[in-house]
Amino acid sequence: MLPIPGGKKYQTMKSLYFILFFAMVSLGAESCREDDDTTCTTCPNNDIITGDYNPQPFAITVPSWLPPVPVPPDNLLTTDGVALGRMLFYDPILSSDSTLSCASCHKQERAFTDGLAVSTGVLGISGKRSAMSLANLAYNTRGFFWDGRTGSLETQALIPVEDHIEMNENWDNVVQKFRNHATYPALFRKAFGIELKSQITKELAAKALAQFQRTLISGNSRYDQIIWAQQGWLTDQEQRGLELFFIEFAGTVQHPGCSHCHFNPLFTDNNFRQNGLEDVPDLLSFPDPGRGAISGIANDNGKFRVPTLRNIELTAPYMHDGRFATLEQVLDHYATGGHGVSNEDPNILPFVLDAQQKEDLIAFLKTLTDQTFLTNPNFSNPF
């Protein structure tokens, strides 16, 4: 028989239920409470990252004809750091809608360019500059991007994520994605020794990306094998092109003097030069001020970083805005000798190339294609 509501037996059982309920609540609270003197030992700590941290140095092997790769002392390369950077490079998690990764605009088969005049971001907005090759960025000490706006690979890696015409994301959101991810916390621990998910930061992500990018060394083209390793020979056409590229004058033949800015062994000086693209009335009239927008110096307007010619066969279209579709068009531009704007590089001088010489020079440039760089599995998509 059930107790009658309002009766003495009913009131007694009701009191016992309340006592039992509050006792259970009290026990639960006590087991998951941390006060000044007691550390909770039974509550799960979802911030802790489990797993080992055993950093192993990553040695970049470069041919003897290339200089040693400079590495900053506060971001030494490790196998786990490079592996994490490679994953981040190919993961669209960095973008606001998870559709765009670094590799979307820097494809290995195109020497880490994208084959477009300008790239398009997640919002469908086209940029105003072409995606540069990432080959041998480790050797650049003069600033990254076409205008040199950042001084290191670590700071460079931070910018595309929050650029609204690129990934259009917020680093706070990206970091939260990492912390909530099934595998990234353990990978950050392996790379940097952190113990808590809350210790994952954008700076650590940028360090990992920079580590991977420093491994992208290109120095094993046919040119390198023939000239430096003394294996094989250039064809007659390639040899004539080499002489056009490197030699200033030979008798009465004029030469383009390409090696003033694109010299051995990197085929760039990573400097900023005004190469005669624009016919403007004064230094303040460049449609894209380039380096000048960063330095604030009018004489730097219209100057852009000299790109490497390694793998140039595969990095069309050319120039900072991708205006030239072919190497033939590039040579035609330089043959004009520019427009005489006051800050044009002094090496921009007119010259004449006949059709055969043009073919010879382009044949030589194609010897700078590095197939091992384009197919190296260590640089490919790890997913």
Q: How far apart are CA 167 and CA 88, in angstroms?
A: 13
Task: Give the number of other Cβ atoms within 10 Å of residue 128's Cβ.
Answer: 13
The pLDDT of residue 27: 44
Q: Which of 299, 81, 285, 272 is nearest to 190 (CA)?
A: 81
Predicted confidence (pLDDT) per residue in 139-194, tens digit: 999 999 999 999 999 999 999 999 999 999 999 999 999 999 999 999 999 999 99
Classified as helix, coil or strand, 150 is: strand
The pLDDT of residue 44: 64
The pLDDT of residue 178: 98
Low-confidence ranges of the chain (pLDDT < 50): 1-2, 4, 9-10, 12-38
The pLDDT of residue 22: 43
Q: Which of 367, 102, 103 is nearest to 227 (CA)?
A: 367
The pLDDT of residue 18: 45
Q: Which of 268, 274, 269 is nearest to 297 (CA)?
A: 274
Chain centre to alpha carbon of residue 100: 13
Side-chain-side CA neighbours of 186 within 13 Å: the count stands at 6
The pLDDT of residue 45: 78
User: Cα separations (Å) of 240 from 231, 271, 334, 361?
Assistant: 19, 27, 19, 7
Chain centre to alpha carbon of residue 359: 33
Q: How far apart are CA 195 and CA 188, in angstroms?
A: 9
The pLDDT of residue 14: 47
